[in-house]
Amino acid sequence: MVLIDVAAAGLPVSIDLRYASERNFTGRPIYARAGCYLHGAAAERLARAAALATALDLRLHVFDAYRPVEAQWALWRHTPDATFVADPRRGSPHSRGAAVDLTLAEAASGRLLPMGTDFDCFTDQAHHGRIDVSRAAQVNRLTLLGLMSAAGWDFYGKEWWHYQLFGAWRLPLFADGAAAPPLMAG
C-alpha cells in the first residue's frame, strides 16, 4: 500500500507536524522532514471528516499522521510508558499510516479551539469524557469526536486528539522510506 501525501492530495486541513519541531513532549525534532502521510483508507476518512468540519465553519488541524517505526522507537526511548506511547515492538497505528492526531480550528481565523489540554498531554485530563476541563473544551472535544466518528474513525479514550482506523492493528508497519523521501533522514 502506498501512503498518500495529505498536503499533495489537497485535503482541506491545516498541517502542523509537531514531531518535525521541538514543540512536542521530547523537546526536540523527531522528524528531519515534515511530511503528512496516511494509508489510503485513512486519507479518505480524513477527507470526509474535513468536509463535515467545513460545514460547521471549522477546520481540522493535524499534529501527526504516519509515523515511521524509527520515530516510534525515538518516542519510546524518551518515554517508555505504554499508557502514553505505543511500544514499538507491537507497533502503533501511526506506524501503519492508520492514525491521525488532530484538533479543531476556526476556519476563518485558523485559531485553535480550546480542548482543555495541549496535544500530547500525558495526564488524565487528556482523556475523553472529562468534566474537569472547561465547558468550551468539553463541547469542542465532543464536536471533534462526533465529526471523526461520523467519518468512520475509531478513537483512543486516553487522548482526545488521537483517531485511528478500525482494525488498524491488522495493517502492516511502515519503516522510514515508505513515504519518499524519508522523514527521519536529514
Catalytic residues: 159
**CB 126, CB 158: distance < 8 Å:** yes
Residue with the three cell numbers 475523553:
128
The CA-atom distances, in angstroms, between 31 and each of 72, 75, 102, 108 are 11, 11, 17, 29
Cell numbers for 112, please give them.
485553535
How far apart, in Å, do the first and last CA atoms of the chain sit?
Answer: 25
Q: How far apart are CA 160 and CA 179, in angstroms?
A: 26
